[in-house]
Amino acid sequence: MQAAPSLPERLIAHLDMDAFYASVELLRYPELKGRAVVIGGRREHAPRTLADGTREYSLLRDYTGRGVVTTSTYAARDLGVFSAMGLMKAALRAPDAILLPTDFDSYRHYSRLFKAAVAEIAPVIEDRGIDEIYIDLTDVPGIREPVGHDPLGGAKAVAREIKNSVLKATGLTCSIGITPNKLLSKIASELEKPDGVTVLTMEDLETRIWPLAVRKVNGIGPKAAAKLAALGVETVGDIAGKTLPWLVENFGKSYGAWLHEASHGRDRRPVVTYSEPVSISRETTFERDLHAKQDRALLGRIFTQLCEQLAGDLSRKGYLSRTIGIKLRFEGFVTVTRDLTLDLPIADAAAIRHAAGLCLKRVDLSKRLRLLGVRAGNLSHPGDALRGRPARKAKPAAASETPEAESLSLFEDLPL
């Protein structure tokens, strides 16, 4: 039978696991179901099993430190605790919430399980991190079959089949949006969360998408939303009501044109099933701000450790890097980066540390440091032909960047 004429050429799904990290923890600690639980912080908050077999949990009120909320259960969200919120602030809102440490190994395990379950039904999958994926359903058998008088019945049936398969493989629920493109599907998957299915066509744009706040669009962040609000633009429909020249005038040629397309629900991006990484990095925020001079030895050890971890990541994944960079965050949250492109790609810790050390010399280190990071970019594989021409001679450091004498030797003469 011929597909209904209103069905779009592409059918793209966005699948988002519901409160993923928190839900994985509830599998392990089912007695916490229904309670306000917050995931975040460093190791020390693991539950303790008492002699009688009962478990004792840490409470959010007892937390001290610089951690943030990674995820929270829906009960915790009802108390105003959301992702990326500082744990100390979260403790003020929900002092009796249970605090669990993040256990990435476990989340990665369930991530592999749910993705494999989806792949058995629809193999064209784009990874968007540990808890979400895009799926191109265009060629899945039965997707365009109407059910009764519903031309979208086939799509809804496939969505339910995928959700059942994920639940069976992991014990976890997810939400799925199916629309003609990635942009709309990403929005749609959120509309019926948790455990929801939302199928939209272009005909639903005005009623379902236009009333939404601009922040619901993937790619409109806090800065763009604030600027839009200042211009009297609150909803996606408000954007669609503006002309292309108006948007370009206020947001630039590229972003303005994208806003125009996005507000009209247009997006031609394909589902990309494989991509090479652009960079690999390691960074750490200190428990307290450290000073280059007073805490020199400690900083040196941390610096060396970051380089060793990065070297381990590179070799484990089979990459060489020709551009090594550092990231510094000072007290007050001012962030600075420096990088250096080498003649030849490297991967070992000593070479990374040397290059990163050269970057470090270009930064004024008189302020206390909150974070230190090391990054490897310009990645290649060991047998690849060299890309680019040899790096030119580095220009001398600008006068304003010339470090103090003691900074010059900072972190050096500490052997790996």
Q: Could you list the active site residues?
A: 132
The sign of the dihedral angle between the CA atoms of 133, 137, 142, 144 is positive
The secondary structure of residue 3, as a DSSP letter, is P
82, 255, 348, 351: residue in contact with DNA (rule CB under 7 A): 255
Helices (H), 146-294: 153-170, 182-191, 222-230, 236-240, 244-251, 253-263
Position 67 contacts DNA (CB under 7 A): yes
Position 86 contacts DNA (CB under 7 A): yes
Provide the strand spans (E) within 202-314: 280-290
CB of 231 or CB of 371, closer to DNA: 371
CB of 140 or CB of 200, closer to DNA: 200
Q: Per CB under 7 A, which of residues 223..242 are in contact with DNA?
A: 223-225
Position 340 contacts DNA (CB under 7 A): yes
Tell me the DSSP string of 339-404: EEEEEEEE-SHHHHHHHHHHHHTTS---SPEEEEEEEEEEEE-TTSPPPSPPPPPPPPPPGGGPPP
Q: Per CB under 7 A, which of residues 34..63 are in contact with DNA?
A: none
Tell me the DSSP string of 62-125: G--SS-BEEEE-HHHHHTT--TT-BHHHHHHH-TTSEEE---HHHHHHHHHHHHHHHHHH---E
Least CB distance to DNA at residue 227 (A)? 8
Position 332 contacts DNA (CB under 7 A): yes
53, 254, 396, 415: residue in contact with DNA (rule CB under 7 A): 254
Q: Are the C-beta atoms of 28 and 71 separated by less than 8 Å?
A: no
Position 268 contacts DNA (CB under 7 A): no
Question: Per the structure block, which two tokens stand in for 1?
Answer: 């039978």
Position 143 contacts DNA (CB under 7 A): no
394, 404, 408, 412: residue in contact with DNA (rule CB under 7 A): 394
8, 194, 270, 277: residue in contact with DNA (rule CB under 7 A): 277
Count of residues near DNA by CB under 7 A? 67
Position 89 contacts DNA (CB under 7 A): yes
Distance (Å, whole) CA 69 – CA 41: 7
CB of 143 or CB of 166, closer to DNA: 166
For the purposes of burial, counting CB atoms within 10 Å of the CB of 371, is it exposed (0-12), middle (13-18) or buried (19 or more)? middle
Question: Per the structure block, which two tokens stand in for 107?
Answer: 């989340």
Least CB distance to DNA at residue 310 (A)? 9
Question: Per the structure block, which two tokens stand in for 370?
Answer: 């909150």
CB of 12 or CB of 143, closer to DNA: 12
CB of 138 or CB of 281, closer to DNA: 281
**Exposure string (b/e) for 139-163, b if CB count within 10 Å is 16 or more?**
ebeebbeeeeeebbbbbbbbbeebb
Interface region with DNA, contact rule CB under 7 A, candidates 45-53, 82-90, 175-183, 202-210 = 82-90
CB of 144 or CB of 361, closer to DNA: 361
Least CB distance to DNA at residue 48 (A)? 24
Q: Per CB under 7 A, which of residues 186..225 are in contact with DNA?
A: 186, 217-225
Position 279 contacts DNA (CB under 7 A): yes
Cis peptide before 194 (omega within 30 of 0): yes
Interface region with DNA, contact rule CB under 7 A, candidates 54-62, 193-201, 246-254, 297-305 = 246-254
CB of 163 or CB of 338, closer to DNA: 338
For residue 374, list its beta bridge partners: 282, 326
- Interacting residues with DNA (CB under 7 A): 65-68, 70, 83-84, 86, 88-89, 92, 128-132, 186, 217-225, 252-255, 275, 277-285, 313, 322-323, 325, 332-333, 335-341, 359, 362, 370-371, 373, 378, 387-389, 391-395
